[in-house]
Amino acid sequence: MAKMVILRCVRRGLLLPVFNNLVSLSFGSTNKRGWKLLPLLIEQSPKLETLIIQSYTGDVTMPPFQVKMLHVHGYGGNAEEVERLHKFIGESECGEVVLGCGSCGG
């Protein structure tokens, strides 16, 4: 719900604040509209070091970003997920990528 409210505000021209103290962000959504918020949050988080994503659906194009650690939860490792992950990372710089499988609870 909060994600949708923030997206509506941004679409109407309101700017997100800069999150200067945000160093770790955990994000997940079950729909395409929710994932559209992630690039906006990353752009406004200049000190972000750790990004944790859950249930990424591949529905959003990410601008290049830089984090020390990227955690991907719910990763099964099939060909489609590998392609989505490569597309998500794109030209971004991630010091370490940690994959947690969906079926093993990791």
> Domain containing 47: what range?
22-101
Q: Is residue 7 part of a domain?
A: no
This prediction has a pTM of 0.80
Half-sphere exposure of 78 (CA within 13 A, CB side): 5
pLDDT tens for residues 11-53?
888 888 899 999 999 998 887 778 888 888 999 999 999 999 9
The amino acid at residue 89 is I
Q: Where is 70: in which H helix or E strand?
A: strand 66-75
Q: Is residue 51 part of a domain?
A: yes
Classify the C-alpha dihedral 24-73-30-88 as positive or negative: positive
Our count of domains for the chain comes to: 1
Q: Is residue 89 part of a domain?
A: yes
Which stretches within 1-106 are classed as H helix? 2-11, 32-35, 37-43, 79-89
